[in-house]
């Protein structure tokens, strides 16, 4: 991957599942809050929407199992409240996060964070991990017309930093994120979790590794 490394000016990090293992937090918060409106979700149900922007997740379940005792916005906000508390009290960096940020910084690569999560969750995460200093820009897809797998959030990140899309490298753990990166004409290294590592759809990525440690090793 060394040739790939030499061809990039900007490294774009995803957040959920890449910087922190937030998926268990999401699943528990969704199960708890959706249960209050009579929507009994399973872990598998929650995993099926991994990588989607959360307002799209709420709409997804509302259209399948409409409820009446709370507004869609109330359910949305209650899940985010639980998520923010979980991040503040339980979040830990995934293996290789700090080391990869240091690696790119030492090689004078600009860095950005582009996530489907709400900005308040992004801010809670970078504050908890104490990694704000590494990023030139932090972008949320919450106000984009479409979330991932649409490429809008990645394109906006590149445009705001005045970097050509083809000079960007995206680090992503989900297939929706990889699809978004490739649709944006960016390079992408997939870092899937062990349960999805062998998903054949990750073949569209420019590389696939088990951790950020392995990513920087292959880029060195």
Average pLDDT over residues 92-110: 97
pTM for this predicted structure: 0.91
Domains, the chain, ordered by start:
2-20+92-219 (3.40.50.1000), 23-90 (1.10.150.240)
Average pLDDT over residues 171-185: 96
- The answer to whether residue 163 scores a pLDDT higher than 90 is yes
Give the pLDDT confidence score for residue 2 in this predicted structure: 73
**Which class for 3: exposed (0-12), middle (13-18), buried (19 or more C-beta within 10 A)?**
exposed
Residue 129 parent element (H or E): helix 119-129
Q: Distance between alpha carbon 179 and the CA centroid of its chain, in Å?
A: 12
**Residue 200: CA count within 13 A, CB half-sphere:** 0
The secondary structure of 154-192 as a DSSP string is HHHHHHHTT--GGGEEEEESSHHHHHHHHHTT-EEEE--
Distance CA 30, CA 76 (A): 9
Active site residues: 14, 16
Distance CA 104, CA 80 (A): 31
Mean pLDDT for all residues in the chain: 95
Average pLDDT over residues 111-118: 95
Average pLDDT over residues 4-29: 94
Average pLDDT over residues 117-123: 95
3-state secondary structure of 51: coil
- The answer to whether residue 90 scores a pLDDT higher than 90 is yes
Give the pLDDT confidence score for residue 143 in this predicted structure: 86
- The answer to whether residue 137 scores a pLDDT higher than 90 is yes
Average pLDDT over residues 80-102: 96
């Amino acid at each position: 991957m060394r040739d790939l490394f030499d061809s990039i000016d900007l490294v774009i990090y995803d957040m959920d599942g890449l910087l922190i293992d937030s998926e268990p937090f999401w699943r528990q918060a969704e199960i708890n809050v959706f249960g209050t409106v009579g929507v009994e979700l399973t872990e598998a149900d929650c995993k099926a929407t991994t990588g989607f922007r959360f307002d799209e997740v709420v709409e997804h379940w509302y259209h399948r199992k409409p409820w009446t005792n709370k507004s869609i916005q109330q359910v949305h906000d209650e899940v985010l409240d639980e998520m923010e508390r979980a991040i503040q009290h339980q979040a830990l960096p995934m293996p290789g996060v700090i080391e990869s940020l240091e690696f790119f910084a030492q090689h004078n690569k600009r860095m950005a964070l582009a996530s489907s999560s709400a900005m308040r969750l992004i801010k809670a995460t970078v504050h908890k991990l104490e990694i704000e200093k590494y990023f030139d820009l932090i972008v949320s897809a919450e106000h984009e017309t479409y979330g991932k797998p649409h490429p809008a959030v990645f394109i906006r990140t590149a445009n705001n930093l005045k970097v050509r899309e083809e000079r960007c490298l995206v680090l992503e753990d989900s297939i929706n994120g990889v699809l978004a990166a490739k649709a944006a004409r960016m390079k992408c290294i997939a870092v899937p979790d062990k349960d999805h590592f062998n998903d054949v759809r990750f073949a569209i990525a420019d590389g696939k590794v088990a951790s950020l440690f392995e990513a920087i090793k292959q880029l060195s």
